[in-house]
Amino acid sequence: MTLTLHLDTGAWREHLRHVADTTPGLVPVAKGNGYGFGLGRLTAEVVALGADTVAVGIVQEVAVVRRAGFAGDVVVLTPWTPADGTEVLADPRVIVTVSRLADLRTLAAGHPDTRVLLEVLTSMRRHGLPTSELAQAVAIVTGSRLRVEGWTIHLPMVVSGRLAEARALASAALQQLQVPLWMSHLSADEYATLAGEVPVPLRLRVGTALWLGAPQTRRVTARVLDVHRVERGERVGYWQRRLPRSGYLVVVSGGTANGVAMEAPTAAVTPRQRMLAAASGSMEALGLALSPYRIDGKKRFFVEPPHMQSSLVFLPEDAGVAIGDEIPVEVRLTTVTVDRIDG
């Protein structure tokens, strides 16, 4: 009873190698659900790539990549605050991000040997020191033993104006202290351009474009667990909904435990579409949601919200689907946890 990620490992690794070879200073990002591959698997790939540094999202993930065999430098992307505790600071190969003067002072006073990246606030308005505070930050670190590994600049995905913003913030930061720049979300071209303009080494943190590039190297399938002929008006499922049409009920692997429910797009959007759907007696008219499961080339409707590890979808015609078949599922790997990786 599994949701399977089929991976052409050879082709995927070729892509990873290509990104690594064409991105000097690459820092692979391994966080969260491991971009669908799991953090253990990503760590093994980082080791195979020979990367000297990996970036994780939160302090709890440091132990995960350590257990998975990564011995190099680990950058924690979410800025450190006292609530994160000090245990992680004991690892001399951990570099924490700091985005507030108060947190920087706390580290300088209590954990002076910490390696830090100073985060500059960008148009993301997420975390970071505004440019007006950069000089104070530098004053704190120069009066302490803190080791500044660089400035970090996390840009939005929106392309327009991004390189200009990167330049402006980099220049403001480098005026205060000449240390490496750790960038996020620059394209390969923007990164190369900036690298040619600044007098310090550049590093680029990449997650999605690295792990989830080359989409042709993978596909996700679900197994058909059961198939039942059902009649119009019959009640089915946990919620005993009446079926609008006769057809087949197909039980497929994958459910809320795998994050499949989050993949369900909503049904018909405009009132007119809804009316047309109602007139044709279709599934949308009942407010059913389209599922990510594809049978006989078409995405099929959920009969009801998915359950922990399986889902019910409706098939109006006999498409020859049989128990044990593997059917394609269109999922975003950042929101899905597969049961098995084949490859």
- Give the one residue of 75, 96, 206, 250 binding ligand PLP; rule: CB under 6 A: 206
**DSSP β-bridge partners for residue 230:** 247
Backbone angles phi, psi at 281, to 5 degrees: 65, 30
Residue 184 contacts ligand PLP per CB under 6 A: yes
Cβ distance 95 to 117 under 8 Å?
Answer: yes
Using the contact rule CB under 6 A, the part of the chain among 164-172, 204-212, 251-259, 264-272 near ligand PLP is 204-212
- Rounded least distance, CB 115 to ligand PLP, Å: 17
- Rounded least distance, CB 55 to ligand PLP, Å: 7
List, in sequence order, every beta strand (DSSP E) within the chain.
Answer: 3-7, 26-28, 53-56, 73-76, 94-98, 115-120, 147-154, 181-184, 202-206, 218-230, 235-236, 241-242, 247-253, 290-295, 298-302, 310-315, 326-329, 340-342
Cβ distance 285 to 244 under 8 Å?
Answer: yes
Using the contact rule CB under 6 A, the part of the chain among 189-197, 203-211, 238-246, 265-273 near ligand PLP is 203-211
Residue 208 contacts ligand PLP per CB under 6 A: yes
Which residue lies nearer to ligand PLP by CB, 152 or 311? 152
Contact mark string toward ligand PLP, 30..49, x via CB under 6 A: -x------------------
Q: Tell me how many residues contact ligand PLP (CB under 6 A).
A: 10
Cβ distance 330 to 263 under 8 Å?
Answer: yes
Which residue lies nearer to ligand PLP by CB, 119 or 284? 119
- Rounded least distance, CB 27 to ligand PLP, Å: 9
Q: Which helix (H) or strand (E) holds 21?
A: helix 9-22
Which residue lies nearer to ligand PLP by CB, 27 or 224? 27
CA atoms of 181 and 315, how far apart (whole Å): 54
Residue 99 contacts ligand PLP per CB under 6 A: no
Residue 77 contacts ligand PLP per CB under 6 A: yes
Q: Which residues bind ligand PLP (CB under 6 A)?
A: 29, 31, 77, 154, 184, 205-209
